[in-house]
Chain A
Amino acid sequence: MTFWELFQYPFMQRALIAAAFTGVAAPAVGTYLVQRRLSLMGDGIGHVAVTGVALGLLTGTSPTWTAVVVSVIGAVVIEVIRSRGHTNGDVALALLFYGGLAGGVLLSGLGGQSSARLQEYLFGSITTISIADVIVTMALATVVLVVGIGLSPQLFAVAQDQEFARVAGLRVGFYNVLVAVLAAVSVSVAMRTVGLLLVSALMVVPVATSQQLTRSFRTTLLAAMVLGAAASVGGLVLSAYLSFHATVAPGPTIVLLSLAGFAVTWPVGAWVRRRARLREPFASVPAPEHEPTEHVHQHGPECGHVAVRHGDHVDYVHDGHRHAVHGAHYDEH
C-alpha cells in the first residue's frame, strides 16, 4: 500500500472530513475566548467532558452526545461562577475541572472499560470515527459556525466591552452563556480529532498565530479558521505519511503542526510590530513650561530657595511656586 492509496479508504476519507469541519469550527469559537482572555476555558470544558464520555461508555449511549450534554452543563456552570466574580472563582473552576477528570476516569473504571477506550477520547482517534459520528461532527460544526459568524457583531461587542454592550441594550448574560455553550459544543466536536486534553490547542493556537499579522477582528477570525483547517487536515495527512515509518498519532501531529505555524509566524509578527513602532511619528506635544521633577539638587536649608512652613512640612519656593518633598519627586503646593 502506498501513501496515495491510503486516501481511497473510507476511514481516511471520514477522518479528512471530520478534521476539516473541526479545524474550521474550533478557532471560530476560540477567537471569542481569546478576545475575552479566557484561552484556558476550552481546556477546562475538556476536563469536564471526560465525565460525559465515561457516562456514555458506561450506559452504552453515544459518548459524543453525553459529552455534549455534560460539557454544556459544565460550561454554563463555569460561566455562572465566572460572572458572579467571586474572588475564589478560579478555585471553584479548578474544583470543577478536576472533578470532571477524576469522575470520568472513575466512571469508566466502574463500567469495566479498558483505559484504551477512554484514551481514544483523551488523545483523539480520528481514524476510527464512524459515519454517524462524522455526520454529528458536521452538523454540530455547522451550528457553531452559523452562530459564531452570524452573531459576530453582538459577540464581538460583548467580548470587547461588556459594560458598553450592556448600555447598548444587549443581553450580556445571554451572550456570555452562548459563547460558553458554543465552546462546549466545539470541545465535544473536536474531541475525536485531537482529544479532550488537546482540544484547547485547536481553539487557541490558530487564533494566536493569525493575530500575529492581522489588524482587524474579522481577518483574525477568518484567518484563524483557515489556519485551523489547514493544521488539522495537514496534521492528519502528515501523520498518515509518517505512519509508514513509525507510529505517529494524528491528534498530537495536528497540535504540533499548529504550534509550528505559530513558531514561524511569531518572529514575522514581532518584526512587523517593531517596524510599525519605529515608523510612528513622534508626537509633537508642546513641552511643559516647567518640569518639577528635574532637580539638580535636593531642596534643603542650604539650597538657596526660600523655605515656607506649610502645616506639617516645609515648602520651597521654586520659579514662583512652592515645592514639597514627596518621595522621589516634588508636589506643587
Chain B
Amino acid sequence: MSLMNDALPVALEDGAVAIGGRPILRGIDLEVPAGQFLALMGANGSGKSTLVRSLIGLRPLAAGRLLLFGTPLERFHDWSRIGFVPQRGGAASGVPASVWEVVASGRLTHRRVFRPLSGADRAAIADALDVVGLAGRGGDGVATLSGGQQQRVLIARALAGEPDLFFLDEPAAGVDLANQISLATSLGRLKERGATIVLVAHELGPLAALVDRAVVMRDGRLAYDGAPLADHAVHEPVFGDPHTHHHHASHHQHDHVPDVRSPLEAGQ
C-alpha cells in the first residue's frame, strides 16, 4: 500500500496522440509528483486539452506509456482517486437538475449500485459544496446559475469523490474576475489539503499565485517545463502564440510598450 501511495500520480513517457489519423501530440514526457500544482499552458490548439484528456483515458494514446499512481492506464481501476473537471457546458442538460444532484453524481466512485446514499456520502457532498462556496445553494437548478457558479458546481462534483489527483480543463475560461477569485480560493483550499492538481489554462489570472510549475505546449509538443511563468511570458512569440488574442479583462494591466513584444521589428 505504501508503494502505491509513493508512486507518482502521473507518469507519461514518450506519449503521442492522433485524432482522425492526424498526429496531435508527439514525444510528451511528463511526470507530476504528489502535491504539485501544475499549470498546463499554451495557445489555442497547442494540444493542452488533448493532453489532459489522454491522461485520464478519454483519448487513447497512439504511442507511449502512461502510469497513474504507478499502475498502467489499461489496468487502472482506482477511479475514486481521480477528479475531473471538464470545460464548462457539462453542467446543464435536457432535464432540470439541482446543484446537489450534480455534485452527488461525483460520489458514484464510492457507491455500489442499488444502494442509497450513506451518511459519509452526504457529508462529502456537503463539504464539497462548502469548499466552492455554494453551501445553501444545493436546491437551486444548475441551469439558473451563472457561468462561474456552474464551473464551481463541476469542481464540487469532482471534489465530492474525495480524490487526490485533480484535472481541471480551462476552469477560468469565460468566467468574470469576481468568480475567478473565488475559483482561486477553492483551488487554494484543495492545495492546502495536499491534492495534486493539473490545471489547463490559457491565462492564469488570479490562479497564478497557486502554481508550482508551468508546462507550456506548442504545436503538440512540450515547449517549456519549469518555474511558473507570468501570463505575459506564455504568449511570447517563442511559444508560438501569434498575438491575435483579443482584449480580455485580465489583460488590462499589461505593459503595452510596442518594443517589448516585438523587439526585432522596426519601431518608429
The residues of A with any CB-CB pair to B shorter than 8 Å are 31, 34-37, 39, 150-151, 153-154, 156-157, 159-161, 163-170, 207, 211, 214-218, 220, 276, 280, 283-286, 288-290, 292-293, 308-311, 315, 320-322, 326, 329-333
**Residues of chain B lying within 8 A (CB to CB) of residue A333:** 243, 256, 258, 261
Is B267 an interface residue, CB under 8 A from the partner? yes
Q: Give the CA-CA distance A284 to B106 in the complex, in Å.
A: 31
Residue B140 CB within 8 A of the other chain: yes
How many residues of B are in contact with the other chain, CB < 8 A? 53
Cβ contact within 8 Å between B106 and A220: no
With contacts A156-B101, A167-B82 taken as known, whether A292 is within 8 angstroms of B177 at the C-beta atoms is no
Residue in chain B with minimal CB distance to A156:
B105
Contact B258 A220 (CB under 8 A): no
A322 and B93 contact, Cβ closer than 8 Å, known pairs A286-B177, A288-B249, A308-B267: no
Closest to B90 in A: A161
Q: A154-B113, A286-B177, A321-B256 are in contact. Are A164 and B90 (CB under 8 A)?
A: yes
Query: How many angstroms from the CA of A214 to the CA of B111 in the assembled complex?
Result: 26
In the complex, whether B80 has a CB less than 8 A from a CB of chain A is: yes
B134-169 interface mask toward A, CB cutoff 8 Å, 1 = contact, 0 = none? 000001110010100000000001000100000000
Is B123 in the interface zone, CB < 8 Å from A?
no
| A/B interface sample: 23 pairs, CB < 8 A | A34-B95, A35-B93, A35-B94, A35-B95, A37-B94, A39-B94, A153-B111, A160-B97, A161-B105, A163-B58, A163-B86, A163-B90, A164-B90, A207-B95, A211-B96, A214-B96, A216-B101, A217-B95, A289-B252, A292-B247, A321-B256, A331-B244, A333-B261
Q: In whole angstroms, how far apart are the Cα atoms of A161 and B154 in the complex?
A: 10
Chain A residues near B5 (CB-CB < 8 A)? none
Extra contacts, 13 of them, besides A35-B93, A160-B97 (Cβ < 8 A), are A160-B90, A164-B86, A167-B79, A168-B109, A216-B96, A216-B98, A216-B139, A216-B141, A217-B95, A285-B177, A288-B249, A322-B258, A331-B246
